[in-house]
Structure 1
């Protein structure tokens, strides 16, 4: 039986498919995943026994995609770009157009859509700037470390990672605001197909971003920070 004292992030590293269970129960497994399952359940207002039951029901072969935790740094960076950054490049403009249209058409009867439009626009800017910084600055530095080379400035990677983790927290706040504004992506009775598609897309954006942040915060960032420290100690 899964122990309530194990951290949420460790449980997802061990079985990535567990993230789906945590998503259903509203349990943070990315930025806030370093706490025991017991504490995470308390914060989410759910019973640990119910969560553990769902975790243990998972089919052992239900995990999809590569075992990211077993990848090297170069392969992990490539995976993050292909799976998550490319997804954002395609999905953010599509969602932006739908959010704008739905607010324009349905804002009179659903005034919360105007706030959604503003919050999404801010989140989109943050995510686009964030992924650009990773691809232009952090990921090339990660490749240098993977090759045994070190950037000139001591602590360069640590400073970058600290900044990016703060940005992850900001993105998480934006996603929580969107969830609250849409009342958990609940579909109104008068919603048109575009409204429904928008809510479905926003829910998927939240799920993908949680997975994206988890891979970076829990798997990639600690590895490259440790590599930087090891190279500094050998100087």
Structure 2
């Protein structure tokens, strides 16, 4: 049984007044505990694919299944609690690191959920090698690499089944990108999978690699260079 399945997925939208389909009827799947890299040239539809997987785009057809449960059987909000999209630029709100980590629990969709305790947050911070960063620290004082890890921890703290990472290491230096990669590998365990857009060379964290090009998706060897 596949953990996360994408079947015959098609996206269309208006671009310069003309209907445009970045991809049509693409299918692939992810296994539990697996990280897959998604590569392709600019404009090939990679971000659209991630957004479609999170039910963030209109005019989408096809099937999305998580542990054999269809996205059509859940509200978009409930689906996004299980399939979490993390954009390239971290969302930072004024306040402390704690405030930023607990941001998802300020939204209506999680009003009945219990937020993680400080102890749980500290354990996550330790996973990200941020043990020296105080939860009361002003988030505006964090470096770009630290913010990227906080954004990833914030997503993971909501305990999604699927993480969709939209080139979260794009603006980072090599050392910070490695830290984010290592954190992703540590966090993706049982009952979790990850699809991430990357343009950097393979870092050894991915189990699979897909290339989206000319509207089709193909699987590559993980040692192939990104584009």
- TM-score bracket relative to the smaller structure: under 0.3
* Structure 1 length-normalised TM: 0.26
**Structure with the higher helix share, 1 or 2:** 1
Instruction: Calculate the TM-score normalised by the size of structure 2.
Output: 0.26
Larger radius of gyration: 1
Which gives a bigger RCO, structure 1 or 2 (Cα 8 Å, sep 6+)? 2
